[in-house]
Amino acid sequence: MSNSQSAENGTLDSAIPAGPLPEKWTKFKSKAPLINPANKRKYKVIVVGSGLAGGSAAATLSELGYQVKCFCYQDSPRRAHSIAAQGGINAAKNYQNDGDSVWRLFYDTIKGGDFRSREANVHRLAEVSTNIIDQCVAQGVPFAREYGGLLDNRSFGGAQVSRTFYARGQTGQQLLIGCYQALEKEIAKGGVEMFTRTEMQDVVVVDGHAKGIVVRDLVTGEISSHAADCVILATGGYGNVFFLSTNAMGCNVMAAFQATKRGAYFANPCYTQIHPTCIPVSGDYQSKLTLMSESLRNDGRIWVPKSKEDAAAIREGRKTAADVAEDDRDYYLERKYPSFGNLAPRDIASRSAKEACDDGRGVAKTGLGVFLDFRDAINRLGEDTIRARYGNLFQMYEKITGDDPYSVPMKIYPAVHYTMGGLWVDYNLMSNLKGLHVLGEANFSDHGANRLGASALMQGLADGYFVIPSTLPVYLAKETPGKVTQDSPEFAEAEKAVKDRIDKLMSVKGTKSVDSFHRELGLLVWDKCGMSRTKEGLEEALKRIDEIRKDFWENVRIPGSADGINMELEKAARVADFIDFAEVMCYDALDREESCGGHFREEYQFTEADEEVQSGFTNPGEAKRRDREYCYVAAWENNGPGVAPTLHKEHLEFENVELAVRSYK
């Protein structure tokens, strides 16, 4: 691998500490600059977002003595979408004595990410994973326990050990409540000033450093700015660019995308995760998709009928799952990936479902659905055990679909769930825009091209509780506290830009609802930049995005005024950014002429002609990486709407693992 290209761009210094991989983080911590307690009080830190990453960062930085301001668009920090994570959180505790270790968690995550993440960051994540569990238990998070009183674990996709800690099907909720309580404790002590129902509109850059933000008060409509010594974005992912996703309705890309307008690079936007186990779409009124935890794949078996005739009969209601004999069922994951079976990683499980449905063997009314069947597990373990493990999930499924999964198999289909791409950050979680730090799903750093289950909660909390408290002083120690105040002209300029944009949105006074544009954009991106992509499709998408943008700015209708609560205006500002962002995403997918993880380019897949297929190592149709050409992080510089962004590459160096064809056979 040559370094010439990264040298030629020269702007992306990943700041990875020298030394052997397992010692990097320890050595970093021994040598990192410190700020003494008396001085910490003088630094102001802005945290945007109050989910696992933002909430844990805000609480911890306040404990350390910094003056923290935390912002969220929801009415309470407890409602951030981390709360919806069901399955669990990974940690290399090896409490099960099944051979787990920091190295294995590191390796599984690197491999799961299809060798497109940074070794040093991922190793650090695996190292601090164990501290997270300790911290959460101390906070009172009620993880599942065994009868002896010790913590229980379950296994999850992409791993052959049981390292996932869980709290029934509500792990994200319990972790977030722990984090929220720590945040409220710091609010009460005066270390954190909390701004709810407040949405960030812009980053303020002074002399090349992020020194504040402009926000809109969603209740009064007031635009105001806040100055600080640094800014931390923990604003989540961009899955709602697809309109239908498992994200909360309010999740959006505005904070991260506005940062790109101020110079931050957006890395790997085409890496989006399509989760295999969601409830299929039922109609065009649908506002979001509901995930069924991946943990269901521990006991549920995924199948479609072997014959198209049986599938058609099920779709038309002439047959039920029970009418299909055992020999006529295709448990396709178990067939294709015997050693991982139904626990194959998410990208692979999703694509396999799509293949089965594209083949005409889907079982939902729309043709887009496969069975997730608990019949065998119920026969083996009894209904009570299944109820104890998945009771709330079964209940949720029944409420949404009207079907009882204890007696008929669930129907599932993949849906957009998580986005691995995000703002580019170095080892210290600082963006190329100095002073701007990015945590959790909002950054790109740890999951490569595909995230393994139970790793999002781990990363959010690792970043907030353990990484940023140690890495923030690398930046802050060089900064004089309070150097920049709101009196700097950049604040007034940024406020004006925000007001102008809102005025522009309000003055369109067209005839079409914001949702209609969002739906149109989402369908387009799902179709052309979803589970599989082609050059032609992406080029067409870029053309269509331009048309949607033009239509939006001419015909969107936002009723009411900007001086108060106006949910249509909130949505419009977010959709405007999704439109521009979708463009960057498609450019990225177009540039990456390979298939890896969540990014599947139809032109690049294994075929019968490949040696790996002939030798039986992998199957035709599996993603084909091109390591020589594409083993880089694609960091995009925003050049404005309708203009191609500029690519900056960070070459990924693998010194500790060998790049292998990912096989889960």
Partner 1 sequence: MNLTLKVWRQAGPESEGSMQTIEAEGISEDASFLEMLDVVNERIVEEGGDPIHFDHDCREGICGACSLTINGVPHSKQQGITTCQLHMRKFRDGDTIWIEPFRARAFPVMKDLMVDRSSFDRIIAAGGYIDVRTGSAVDANSVPIPKEDADSAFDSAACIGCGACVAACKNASAMLFVGAKASHLNKLPQGQVQKDERVLGMVRQMDAEGFGNCTNQYECEAVCPKEISADVIGKLNRDYVAATVKEAVK
What's the min distance (Å) between Cβ of 94 and partner 1? 11
Classify each residue of 30-65 as buried b or exposed e, where b means 16 or more C-beta atoms within 10 Å of its C-beta: eeeeebeeeebeebbbbbbbbbbbbbbbbbbbbbbb
**Of 648, 540, 662, which Cα lies nearest the Cα of 113?**
662
Q: Name the CA dihedral angle for 100, 106, 108, 110, rounded to a multiple of 10 degrees.
A: -170
- Near partner 1 by CB under 8 A: residue from 47, 120, 122, 133: 133
What's the min distance (Å) between Cβ of 424 and partner 1? 26
Residue with tokens 């050595």: 27
Task: Identify the three-state secondary structure at position 461.
Answer: helix
Question: Which one from 104, 297, 346, 533 is the annotated catalytic residue?
Answer: 346
> Nearer Cβ to partner 1, position 172 or 598?
172
What's the min distance (Å) between Cβ of 611 and partner 1? 45
Q: Does 557 bind partner 1 (CB under 8 A)?
A: yes
Which residues 360-389 are close enough to bind partner 1 by CB under 8 A? none
Give me the 482-501 binding string for partner 1, x by CB under 8 A, dash otherwise. --------------------
Q: At what angle do helices 102-112 and 119-139 cross, to 10 degrees?
A: 120
Distance of alpha carbon 183 from alpha carbon 423, whole angstroms: 25
What's the min distance (Å) between Cβ of 251 and partner 1? 8
What's the min distance (Å) between Cβ of 526 and partner 1? 18
**Distance from first CA to last CA of the chain, Å, rounded?**
28
Q: Tell me the window of 128-136, 374-382, 438-446, 608-616 that interacts with partner 1 (CB under 8 A).
A: 128-136
Which residues 448-467 are close enough to bind partner 1 by CB under 8 A? 465-466
Q: Does 135 bind partner 1 (CB under 8 A)?
A: yes
Q: Does 177 bind partner 1 (CB under 8 A)?
A: yes
Distance of alpha carbon 638 from alpha carbon 645, whole angstroms: 5
Q: At what angle do helices 567-591 and 254-261 cross, to 10 degrees?
A: 60
Instruction: State the alpha helices, DSSP H only, in 466-534.
Output: 468-476, 489-508, 514-529
Distance of alpha carbon 204 from alpha carbon 200, whole angstroms: 11
Q: Name the CA dihedral angle for 604, 606, 612, 616, rounded to a multiple of 10 degrees.
A: 160
Q: Does 187 bind partner 1 (CB under 8 A)?
A: yes
Q: Does 188 bind partner 1 (CB under 8 A)?
A: yes
Which residues 207-226 are close enough to bind partner 1 by CB under 8 A? 219
Distance of alpha carbon 204 from alpha carbon 492, whole angstroms: 9
Q: Does 193 bind partner 1 (CB under 8 A)?
A: no
Handedness of CA 454, 455, 456, 458 (dihedral sign): positive
- Near partner 1 by CB under 8 A: residue from 515, 540, 551, 653: 515
Which residues 322-361 are close enough to bind partner 1 by CB under 8 A? none
> Nearer Cβ to partner 1, position 366 or 485?
366
Q: Does 399 bind partner 1 (CB under 8 A)?
A: yes
Q: Tell me the window of 181-189, 450-458, 475-483, 522-530 that interacts with partner 1 (CB under 8 A).
A: 181-189
Which residues 143-172 are close enough to bind partner 1 by CB under 8 A? 143-151, 167-168, 170, 172
Sheet holding 223-227, edge to edge: 198-206, 209-217, 223-227
User: What is 347-390 written as a DSSP string?
Assistant: HHHHHHHHHHHHTT---STTS--EEEE-HHHHHHH-HHHHHHHH
Q: Does 395 bind partner 1 (CB under 8 A)?
A: yes
Q: Hey, what amino acid is at 348?
A: I
Q: Tell me the window of 76-84, 441-449, 580-588, 634-642 that interacts with partner 1 (CB under 8 A).
A: 76-84
- Near partner 1 by CB under 8 A: residue from 19, 33, 559, 620: 559
Q: Tell me the window of 7-15, 234-242, 399-407, 416-424 that interacts with partner 1 (CB under 8 A).
A: 399-407
What's the min distance (Å) between Cβ of 234 and partner 1? 15
> Nearer Cβ to partner 1, position 46 or 194?
194
Q: Does 560 bind partner 1 (CB under 8 A)?
A: yes
Q: What is the DSSP letter of 167?
A: S
Q: Does 79 bind partner 1 (CB under 8 A)?
A: yes
Which residues 231-250 are close enough to bind partner 1 by CB under 8 A? 246, 248-250
Q: Does 174 bind partner 1 (CB under 8 A)?
A: yes
Q: Are strands 67-71 and 44-48 parallel, antiparallel or unpaired?
A: parallel
Q: Does 81 bind partner 1 (CB under 8 A)?
A: yes
Task: Identify the three-state secondary structure at position 103.
Answer: helix
> Nearer Cβ to partner 1, position 36 or 287?
287
Which residues 16-75 are close enough to bind partner 1 by CB under 8 A? 56, 59-60, 63, 74-75
User: Does the active-site annotation cover 346?
Assistant: yes
What's the min distance (Å) between Cβ of 230 and partner 1? 19
Classify each residue of 5-24 as buried b or exposed e, where b means 16 or more C-beta atoms within 10 Å of its C-beta: ebeeeeebebebbeeebeeb
Distance of alpha carbon 211 from alpha carbon 485, whole angstroms: 8
> Nearer Cβ to partner 1, position 151 or 497?
151
Catalogue the active-site residues: 346
